Structures are given as C-alpha cells and as structure tokens.
Amino acid sequence: MSTAPEVATHVTTAEQAHPAVGAATALLDDYTPGRRFLATPTRTLLAEGVHAHVPHDDRPLPQRVAAALAAARTAGTDRPHVIGAVAFDQTAPAALAVPETLRTAPPLTADPLIALPAETPEATDWRIRPVPSPEEYGEGVAGAVERMWRGEFSKVVLARTLELTAPAPLDIPLMLQRLARRDPSGYTFALPTAPGRTLVGASPELLVSRRGHQVVANPLAGSTPRSSDLAEDVRRAAALLESAKDLHEHAVVVDAVHQALAPFCTDLTIPARPTLIRTATMWHLSTTVTGTLTSPDASALELACALHPTPAVCGTPTATAREVIRETEPFDRGFFTGMVGWGDADGDGEWVVTIRCAEAEERSLRLYAGAGVVAASDPAAETAETGAKFRTFLDAVGAEL
C-alpha cells in the first residue's frame, strides 16, 4: 500500500521566467461583470467589449468560430481570439465572443500577489433551496444503480443544484477573487452567458489544450472529499488511489478520451495508472494524456467538441446516459458540464470542463455539483460527494448549508 499520494505538478515556462509582480492579479482586480475573465495554468485573460458574437446556426461550432475569427482578422484585428462558454448540450446556443480588446498576463501562480487573501464576504442571510432535495437525489442515484444492474448502461453522472437567494445584489468580483485566490493553479472564470447573467467558477479539469501540434487532455474521474486533518487527508488520498470503484470509473473516462483523440493524433501517451490532483475541497484521480496532431487543421475547439461530453460528466453509453440525465434531473444543466475556454485564429486554445461553478443573476445563484454513478455506487456516498463539491462555491460566498 502506498504511504503517500502521488500528486501531479506542472511548471510552466512563465513561472520559470519570474514575470513582473502584479501582472496577473491586476487583471483579476480589473474584472467587472460584463467583461470576460479566464485564468489557466498557462495564462490570465481579461476581455472587454465585443467585436463579434459567434452566431448560432446549423454549421458545426468549430466552423462558426473559425469563420468569426477569420472575419475579425480580415477586419484588421491583430491576433483575434474567441473566449466564452459552450453548453452541456452542444446544440444549444453558445456564449462565445471575439472581444474588442484582450489583455493577457502570465498565470496567477506566477504572481506572488495571488497569495494575499481576498476580502471576507459580508454576512448574508442566504435563502438556500436544494433542487432536487438530497433525499430525492439519493433516490435518483438508487434508481440508476438498479438499472445498471439490469444491464441498461454502465455509468451516468447525476447532478443536483442549490438555489441561493440574497437580500442584496451579488458581489461577483469578490466571488471571483475568493475562487481564484483559493485555488490559483486551477481554471477560474467569470463569463457572461446572457444579459445580466454570469457563469462563475473554478474548475480543476482541462478537457483539452492545443499548442501548435501538441495536444494535452487531463481527464478527472474518481473523487473523495478532503479533510482538514492532515493524517486523515493523506489516508483518504491514498485510499482513492487504490479504490477499485474509482479506478474503474477513471479508466472508462481515460479510454473514452483515448478513443476520441486517436483519429486526430499520433504518439498518444497515456500513463498506466492515474495520479492525484487536489483542490481546496477534493482529491481527484487524474491522468494527463499527451499527443501530437496528425494534421494542423484540427483546432483546440474541434478537439474539445470531439471529446465532449466525456463519461466524466455524462456517462456511458453517451446517448443512454443523456436520456437518464433528462429523466432524472429536475433542471436544465445549461452551461454546467459544458466547457469554457479560449481559442485563437491559428487553432491553439484551452477548453475546460465547466464544473465547480454557479450561474449568477442579480440576487440569485444556482450552484451545480455532480457525481459519477456506477453499479457499485452508494446513494448516501454520492450525495455526500456532491455536498463536498458545493463547498468550493459556498466558501466563496460565505454560505453554510
């Protein structure tokens, strides 16, 4: 048995170059609702204004995005980018735009000022309503498990939500600050998805990135809540690395990523066993998949659309899992378990699985959390896992269940 968990770490060239102090946190500080903020382990982006929205029509999304970027380049935009969010249902309208201006900086982890704490949110009398209730969610999990034992499908990801209502307008910039400063090595975002509505979150999961011919995907599946007690935290991490249920769940996702990327890539490298990554609230099994593009024509977004949705957010077989989700979840996922990210006119980009997020509108927040359900799942354990995942955002707004 392992005595300590193996933790995947990544060092970027920007971190090695010791960029100017304050460059990344300045963009974080300058965020206001309506702008588009995205921080990844490779860069920090703040977009303002809209040169063009990506239209919603019958063309495939990557084709629409490529056309919008080409038009912006023809119109004289220097190095145009697209930034925004794609819904769980790829046939739904996306919230993607080519911004008028885009400021960039090194990653937040390269800025020492990110270690400074964010302000504490003011005490708020939140009204919290779970949809569905924890009991109803557990019943949904139990029903899915029963169907899996009958052989109808092998996995489904079931989600639940919390509807939070505040007596005063929401402070979205403070939420973003607290999310970014708590987990600066993740993927933190605040993106408008409709007039007056913002998608805010801090995801740990890279769906896919492309830089030149190099492709990286980092599927996560199999999780356990962190503990404030160090010894217990290490015990939980070590147990996750040896959990037959979680290792099987993870292997299914990694295999799906392999199958989706294989037509686009050569030299795909997939480690034999997963490692661990951690957030402030969760441990996750993690595998970093790397490959080389066969053709430079496939953009990061095209790769992301080929991967989405992975079994980590939907299930398998995909069509059956989607139907189970529609039958079981009493809400529309919207952008939850979709993807957020950026892409440029050369096809490079980073697209992230939209988890650990909430949709904010005026005085209301809708928080989302899901768990992978397999035949060995226990309804109480999956309900507890989703509760632990809610903690990322509840801590950001100072709310208690």
- Active-site choice (155, 350, 359, 385): 155
Q: With CA atoms as reference, report the closest residue to 90 among 54, 68, 117, 60.
A: 60
Residue 45 token pair: 């982006």
The DSSP string of 60-73 is -HHHHHHHHHHHHH
Contacts of residue 112, defined as CB under 8 A and 6 or more positions apart, other chains included, come to 21
Distances (CA, A) of 363 to 36, 158, 171, 219: 20, 26, 9, 34
- The residue count of the chain comes to 401
Residue 143 pairs in a beta bridge with none
Q: Please return the burial class of 263, using the count of CB atoms within 10 Å of its CB with bins 0-12, 13-18 and 19+.
A: exposed
Chain CA centroid to CA 46, Å: 18
Chain CA centroid to CA 352, Å: 5
Chain CA centroid to CA 20, Å: 28
205 carries an active-site annotation: yes
Q: Please return the burial class of 109, using the count of CB atoms within 10 Å of its CB with bins 0-12, 13-18 and 19+.
A: buried
Contacts of residue 106, defined as CB under 8 A and 6 or more positions apart, other chains included, come to 12, 14, 15, 17, 19, 23, 24, 43, 44
The whole-angstrom separation of Cα 317 and Cα 218 is 21
155 carries an active-site annotation: yes
Q: Is the dihedral of CA 50, 186, 354, 383 positive or negative?
A: negative
Residue 165 token pair: 């209502």
- Active-site choice (6, 48, 122, 205): 205
Helix (H, G, I), strand (E, B) or coil at 104: strand
Residue 48 token pair: 């303002």
Long-range contacts of 210-214 (CB under 8 A, 24+ apart): 210/293, 210/298, 210/299, 210/300, 210/303, 210/347, 210/348, 210/349, 211/348, 212/296, 212/348, 213/292, 213/293, 213/296, 214/290, 214/291, 214/292, 214/293
The whole-angstrom separation of Cα 132 and Cα 130 is 5
* Residues known to be catalytic: 155, 205
